[in-house]
C-alpha cells in the first residue's frame, strides 16, 4: 500500500459566492472532526494482477490547543486475478504545531496481521518557507535534510485551501508526512473552480458548502522521471473535509467515498 495523505481544515459556508468571499478574507480555519470512507477498486490496468480491492479508512482530526492531531487507520483487502488475497493496514498518528514548524509522526504498516514496517520521528523547520531536519528513531536512527519550502501535512492543506479561495489554480511545494523513511515528496497540485455537490445519503453542517476539485501528483525528491510515483484526486470543502478521494497508482486506482462524518467537540484551550 502506498503512502496516504492527511486532510484537515474547518469552517463551512452556504453558497459559491459566500465561500469565495469568506475564505478570501481570512486564512483557512481548522475544525475537529471524524470521517469514515468506504474504499474500493476504481480501475486496474491489464497485467496488474488486481481483481478487486475493498476496505475502510477512518480519519480523526483534533485541535490540541498547541497543535493539530491527525490519526487514521486504513485497512484494504486486495484480491488477485490469479487467486489469493492480502489484507494491509496503515495506522498513523501525527502532531503538528500550529505555526507549521514542528511535526511528530508515528506509522505502523501491517500485512495479514503481521507488522511489516514501523516509522517514528520528529521533523523541524528552521522557519516559515525554510528547510529543516527530520530525525527518525524507527526503523533506524538517522536524520535527513528537508529542502527549502517544505510543508507538513496540515500546513499543506491550509495552503491548498487558501490558494483555491484566492482564485489560484496550482500549488507546487515539497511535502513531508513521515509515512516512510524516504523523505519528502515534490508535489504539484492542480485546483479546479468550486462546484456545488451535495451527497445524497449524508447530512452534516460540514458538507453544506461547495467543493474544489483538486488533483495532486507526488514525485520522489530528486526524481528525473516525468511521471509521478502516484497521484491523488479529491474534492475539498472550504472546511477541509474531502468528499471524494481517489488514489491513482501506476497499475490501479482506489476510490474512497465518504460514508459518515461527525464534528468533534471544540477543545477548551
Q: 80: closest CA among 104, 58, 51?
A: 51
pLDDT at 18: 27
How far is residue 65 from each of residues 28, 68, 185, measured CA to CA in Å?
Answer: 16, 7, 28
**C-alpha cell of residue 232:** 491523488
**Residue 262 pLDDT more than 80?**
yes
Q: Where are the domains of the chain?
A: 16-263
**pLDDT tens digits, residue range 109-149?**
999 999 999 999 999 999 999 999 999 999 999 999 999 99
Q: How much is the pTM?
A: 0.86
Give ∠ CA 202-237-203 in degrees, rounded to 5.
15
The pLDDT-based confidence of 203 (bands split at 50, 70, 90) is confident
pLDDT at 3: 41
237 touches 261 (CB < 8 A): no
256 touches 76 (CB < 8 A): no
pLDDT at 200: 61
**Residue 173 pLDDT more than 60?**
yes
Residues forming a β-bridge with 253: 43, 248
pLDDT at 254: 96
Region 41-50 average pLDDT: 89
pLDDT at 24: 33
**Residue 16 pLDDT more than 60?**
no
Kindly report the average pLDDT of the chain as a whole number.
86
Amino acid at each position: 500500500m502506498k503512502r496516504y495523505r492527511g486532510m484537515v481544515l474547518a469552517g463551512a459556508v452556504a453558497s459559491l459566492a459566500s465561500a469565495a468571499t469568506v475564505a478570501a478574507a481570512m486564512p483557512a480555519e481548522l475544525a475537529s472532526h471524524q470521517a469514515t470512507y468506504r474504499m474500493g477498486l476504481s480501475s486496474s490496468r491489464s497485467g496488474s494482477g488486481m481483481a478487486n480491492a475493498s476496505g475502510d479508512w477512518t480519519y480523526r482530526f483534533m485541535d490540541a490547543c498547541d497543535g493539530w492531531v491527525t490519526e487514521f487507520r486504513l485497512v484494504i483487502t486486495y484480491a488477485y486475478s490469479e487467486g489469493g488475497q492480502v489484507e494491509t493496514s496503515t495506522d498513523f498518528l501525527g502532531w503538528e504545531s500550529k505555526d507549521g514548524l514542528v511535526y511528530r509522526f508515528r506509522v505502523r504498516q501491517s500485512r495479514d496481521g503481521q507488522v511489516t514496517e514501523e516509522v517514528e520521528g520528529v521533523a523541524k523547520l528552521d522557519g516559515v518557507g525554510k528547510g529543516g531536519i527530520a530525525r527518525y528513531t524507527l526503523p533506524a536512527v538517522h536524520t535527513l535534510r528537508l529542502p527549502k519550502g517544505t510543508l507538513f501535512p496540515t500546513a499543506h492543506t491550509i495552503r491548498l485551501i487558501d490558494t483555491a479561495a484566492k482564485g489560484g489554480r496550482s500549488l507546487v511545494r515539497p511535502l513531508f508526512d513521515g509515512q516512510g523513511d524516504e523523505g519528502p515528496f515534490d508535489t504539484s497540485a492542480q485546483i479546479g473552480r468550486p462546484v456545488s455537490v451535495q451527497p445524497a445519503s449524508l447530512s452534516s453542517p460540514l458538507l453544506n458548502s461547495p467543493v474544489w476539485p483538486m488533483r495532486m501528483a507526488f514525485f520522489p525528491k530528486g526524481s528525473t522521471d516525468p511521471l509521478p510515483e502516484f497521484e491523488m484526486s479529491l474534492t475539498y470543502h472550504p472546511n477541509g473535509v474531502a468528499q471524494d478521494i481517489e488514489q491513482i497508482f501506476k497499475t490501479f486506482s482506489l476510490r474512497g467515498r465518504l460514508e459518515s462524518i461527525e464534528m468533534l467537540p471544540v477543545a477548551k484551550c
